[in-house]
Chains A and B, each alone.
Chain A
Amino acid sequence: DGGITQSPKYLFRKEGQNVTLSCEQNLNHDAMYWYRQDPGQGLRLIYYSQIVNDFQKGDIAEGYSVSREKKESFPLTVTSAQKNPTAFYLCASSIAGGRTYGYTFGSGTRLTVV
């Protein structure tokens, strides 16, 4: 079955550590996205990529980094520069921007700073 796989489901990070969240899709979608969900704030866009080897900052990119070396993979690194990283992180993919057919989301990674 086609879909998006995010791993791990739960992740704990110590202060000052970088962590990388995995996102893999087998839908042959060109575009991939990373969102962060905080209570009462909906989904905020961190980074997105419309094509391999290219990506753009979203609304809250500070403290995060991404890479898009393969069409199937779009890992997100939460760096020590991110002041408040505890959140629920969602990866999504779509064909050509997703405005018509919508995004397909993964099941998310909950990151907690300890």
Chain B
Amino acid sequence: DQQVKQNSPSLSVQEGRISILNCDYTNSMFDYFLWYKKYPAEGPTFLISISSIKDKNEDGRFTVFLNKSAKHLSLHIVPSQPGDSAVYFCAASGKTSYDKVIFGPGTSLSVIP
């Protein structure tokens, strides 16, 4: 049973518009959430993270929102650029620094010029 779900396998957005990638989780013990970006034939790269004590974290064009009561988080990319076209993985981890990070199945984002 997947503990981290990304229900949209793919998403297409026009360049300059907002991209919203969604993620749901089932384990209430998750305490830390991360987003990774992956290009084909490359390893994922860490993008942004958020602790459960916050509901928003921003880094340039990327903002992650966390709704703990709904066990839902989202990644907003504004404005979207063609170079953002990649697979985005949502990930979650428990309270201790040695907890494993659990990855979702990924959402493939295409930004259309």
With contacts defined as CB atoms under 8 Å apart, how many contacts are there between chain A and chain B in the complex? Answer: 68
Contact B32 A104 (CB under 8 A): no
- From A14-22, A35-43, A68-76, give the one contacting chain B: A35-43
In angstroms, Cα B101 to Cα A58, docked, is 11
Known: A96-B97, A97-B97. A102 touches B43 (CB 8 A): no
Contact A102 B36 (CB under 8 A): yes
Tell me which of A44, A98, A108 has the highest count of chain B C-beta atoms within 10 A of its own C-beta. A98
Known: A43-B103, A45-B100. A100 touches B49 (CB 8 A): yes
Interface residues of B in 68-113 (CB under 8 A from A): 89, 93-94, 96-101, 103-106
Check if A103 is an interface residue, CB within 8 A of chain B.
Answer: yes
Nearest CB in chain A: distance from B73 CB, A: 15
Q: Which of B34, B43, B97, B98 contacts A108 (CB 8 A)?
A: B43
Count residues of B near A (Cβ-Cβ below 8 Å): 27
- Interface size, A (range): 20 to 34
Check if B16 is an interface residue, CB within 8 A of chain A.
Answer: no
Contact A102 B34 (CB under 8 A): yes
Cβ contacts under 8 Å, A43 to chain B: 44, 89, 103
Which positions in A face B, CB cutoff 8 Å?
4, 6, 35, 40-45, 48, 50, 58, 90, 92, 96-108, 110
**What are 26 of the A-B contact pairs (CB < 8 Å)?**
A4-B43, A41-B105, A42-B89, A42-B103, A43-B44, A43-B103, A44-B103, A90-B44, A97-B97, A97-B98, A97-B100, A98-B93, A99-B34, A99-B94, A100-B32, A101-B46, A102-B34, A102-B46, A102-B49, A103-B36, A103-B44, A103-B46, A105-B45, A107-B43, A108-B43, A110-B41
